[in-house]
Amino acid sequence: MRDGPVRGLVFDIDGCLVRGPHAIPGAPEALAALRARGHRMRFFTNDSAKTQAETAERLAVAGIDAAAEEVLSSATVAASYVSSRFQHGRVLVIGAGALRTVLEAQGLALVDAPPADAVVVGRDVDFTFAKLNAACRAIWGGAAFLATNLDRRMPVADGFVPGTGSLVKAVAWATASSPRVMGKPSLWAGRAAVASLGLSARDVVVVGDALLQDVRMGKVAGTATVLVLTGSSTSADVERATPRSRPDAVLPDVTYLQGWLET
């Protein structure tokens, strides 16, 4: 629950602020008004296939002001986690160039075949049996198993596409092991989001369109939570959720956020 004035906002991107290349109507103006009132902002995406700069540019094209340093992703959280536990280690990656870039920036050696200290599975539109086989062999050989996220699907302009979770589940099924999840709704993601704002959790609100990712991350991190009905989750989903899993507010879209913050 919200205990006092909100100083920081963590926004989901797809389904919350944009849909495909276009802003959700009213989102740019709503965020500009919130900035003008002094709210600190972060933009958190589970998409590990884009760099922070690329995501900021995508938001800018949609009319939403965002700096690269305000963007967090499951890839940046994963890179920080792996580097802290396997410094200069060997990492086998299933994922796009952005994920590989942030891992390399942490001084990690990326490999395409075992042995490896860790396997990191992210979004990979070129996923193949050969990649699946390499990841499984590394995990069978003792490598830690990490996933950027378990999202079943991603909202796009004309509906949805399969999410990273579909790839992660293939590896998990074959190896009979469960990954440590780095992105939303994990504790690692929530802590990173709050810490990046330089605030305490009680001063932060997580805003997103997905109960199981955005709202759950906020709950785990100890922030207030807002669900907007412009993406994955519906009012019916909220009604079916347990009381402890329900957001502090359900709004039609982000244009209603300022009014809620003022109540």
Give the residue numbers marked as catalytic.
12, 14
Q: Annotate the chain with three-state secondary structure.
A: CCCCCCCEEEECCECCCEECCEECCCHHHHHHHHHHCCCEEEEEECCCCCCHHHHHHHHHHCCCCCCHHHEEEHHHHHHHHHHHHCCCCEEEEECCHHHHHHHHHCCCEEECCCCCCEEEECCCCCCCHHHHHHHHHHHHCCCEEEECCCCCEEEECCEEEECHHHHHHHHHHHHCCCCEECCCCCHHHHHHHHHHHCCCHHHEEEEECCHHHHHHHHHHHCCEEEEECCCCCCHHHHHHCCHHHCCCEEECCHHHHHHHHCC
Distance of CA 228 to the CA centre of its chain: 16
Distance CA 180, CA 82 (A): 11
